[in-house]
A and B are shown apart, each in its own frame.
Chain A
Amino acid sequence: MATQAAIAAQGLGKLFDGRPAVEDVDLAIAPGEVFGFLGPNGAGKTTTMRMLAALIAPSSGEAWIDGLAVGEDDDAIRRRVGLLTESPGLYESLSAEANLRFFGRLYGLSDATLSTALERYLRRFDLWERRADRVGGFSKGMKQKVALIRALLHRPAVVFLDEPTAGLDPESAQVVHEFIREIQSEGRTIFLCTHNLDEAERLCDRVAIFRRRIIRLGSPTELRRSLFARQMEVIVADPTQVAHLATVAGAVPGCIEARADGPGRLIVGLPDPDAQTPALVAALVGAGAAIRRVAEVEHSLESAYLELIQQ
């Protein structure tokens, strides 16, 4: 078992009525890491998260949270874990404060501790003035903020966030993103289930592309590079030169491909751009190119995700 990991799993699987929902998940997530769990609807992301949060029992394999074994130390795990569910799941007839006090007390927080934490978080999310209002009258973004506070009130070491910005307007989503970075800076481990690839790319140290099992795991950059050859984009001043310059670039040692890609745009495949780009630029300038820009082509995580899911 990876005792150093905040979240670890070995061969984790779940069957529902004999059908596999999750298979053979191996994970080791370091303390303080933001880990993205990406996959299409019905891929088994929520089931995996529920197993790790000690809500449902694995059918196979093992998992540990902060060194505590899932299935053996479930109560202790639940005390160390914060969970933001897919929908806010608040009692709509109660006020924001009543909702949070209820959950805080279930986590064993004293009234004094709760009051301090409530004021801190409610002010952080601009909800302090609305704390006595019924949650039923809140916007979706406000409810999501209350649910996020609920997941963090007891200062959990590990936080599971299931689609934290689903349905939120960009401004609210931005607040949630900032807050995720803030809690990461406090050293908490974050397990982020999301469909939002831009969100995953910006927030996560590593991501797993998941469809019933982990298809690929790594940092967003590693994932992109594992799927797409590294390429340099060269923009030249004279579009008529591009065909000739493609031939020149193709002769640079180590070049995989070189092609014209639109007016004045050249794409050159280089296995090691850091080492090979100076030679490429020198060859092109030597051939009379007036270069305006040279940059590495950045494939998005979305392209990598779609590529992997389609595979």
Chain B
Amino acid sequence: MNLSLNPIWILMQKEVATSLRSRMALATLVITTLVFIGIPIGLIVGTNLLPGAGLTKGRGIDDTTLQSLLLAYPSLAGLPKNQVVQGLVVSGMQPLFLLIPLLTPLTLAIYSIIGEKQTRSLEALLATPITTRDLLLGKCLAAALPGVISAWVSYGLFLVVAVALVPRAIFTQLLLQPAWLLAMLLIVPAAAALAVLVGLIVSARASDPQAAQQVGGLIVLPVIGLLLGQVTGVVRLSVPITLLAAAVVLALDTGLLTVAVRLFGRETILTRWK
């Protein structure tokens, strides 16, 4: 089929064009990416550039804590204390990359739907031959893809900086972990889909994007929990945990997709959406 006449592709192009002209949507995309990539990379660069900092000297962590961490990662036992601490702290920041596919798609989805409501363009859109399946898919992909791509590019950049600045043993043992690669591969797209679906469902009932974001923003709480768990050493992502988390998110996606499909009927949109 001619891609230029594919309704999903046509809708995605329009969504991207309108998002790029929406200051709020664009700001969220850029700021989220810059902040969440800036923190881990900043930590790597900072701990290398400021050799006098407590972190690089291994201060800020007592021996008991260090021993317990080394028990969890025996392969690091021979490394200098400051390098272990640097690796652990930087590694603990990796959940930030899971916030990118949540926040950006959530914002784009909310602004897409509420934008259509505010300009009252939905009825004209629904009067075209586009199917509601294509409408839903086009909206979802256009909102999800920037978040997924942004997360992957950010993580790739993080790894490039890390491999250049972090000692090799730390990089291979703490940063380049199969669990995190798997999380990037599986959880990032699943989380983006979750954020988009939540955004679409919340927006169907809301008329104010800020209010919708406040409700939809609750989906970041599990990732914040993971971040705190990682930083404090309480939680360490493993391959089984990653697979389980991906399965849970996918199950949530499936449930929310059922709700979204019901909400995306022509009649429901025209007569039930507020």
Within 8 Å by CB of B119, from A90, A106, A111, lies A90
Q: Which of B10-18, B48-56, B154-162 is the contact stretch?
A: B10-18
Q: A83-B123, A90-B121 are in contact. Are A56 and B129 (CB under 8 A)?
A: no
CB distance from A220 to the nearest CB of B (A): 28
- Chain B interface size range: 20 to 34
Q: Is A69 an interface residue (CB 8 A)?
A: no
Mask for B241-274, Cβ within 8 A of A = 1, else 0?
0000000000000000000000000110011000
Mask for A142-157, Cβ within 8 A of B = 1, else 0?
0000010010000000
Q: Are B127 and A78 in contact (CB under 8 A)?
A: yes
Contacts of B13 in A (CB 8 A): 102
CB distance from B188 to the nearest CB of A (A): 29
How would you classify the secondary structure of chain B's contact residues: helix, strand, loop or mixed? helix
Q: Is B64 an interface residue (CB 8 A)?
A: no
Most chain A CB within 10 A, of B14, B119, B129, is at B129
Give A293 to B241 CA distance when docked, in angstroms.
97
Q: Is B219 an interface residue (CB 8 A)?
A: no
Most chain B CB within 10 A, of A16, A53, A57, A107, is at A107
Q: A78-B128, A85-B120, A105-B5 are in contact. Are A16 and B271 (CB under 8 A)?
A: yes
Give A167 to B37 CA distance when docked, in angstroms.
50
> How many interface contacts (CB-CB < 8 Å) are there between A and B?
80
Q: Are A98 and B10 in contact (CB under 8 A)?
A: no
Within 8 Å by CB of B124, from A50, A79, A89, A105, lies A89
Contacts of A53 in B (CB 8 A): 127
Q: Is B173 an interface residue (CB 8 A)?
A: no
Q: Are B270 and A56 in contact (CB under 8 A)?
A: yes
Give A87 to B5 CA distance when docked, in angstroms.
27
Can you pick out 23 interface pairs between chain A and chain B where the beta carbons lie within 8 Å of each other? A55-B126, A55-B267, A56-B270, A56-B271, A75-B129, A78-B128, A78-B129, A79-B129, A85-B120, A85-B127, A89-B120, A89-B124, A89-B125, A90-B124, A91-B115, A91-B119, A93-B18, A94-B14, A98-B17, A105-B5, A106-B10, A110-B5, A111-B4
List residues of chain A with CB under 8 Å of any chain B CB: 16, 50, 53, 55-57, 75, 78-79, 81, 83, 85, 87-94, 98, 102-103, 105-108, 110-111, 147, 150
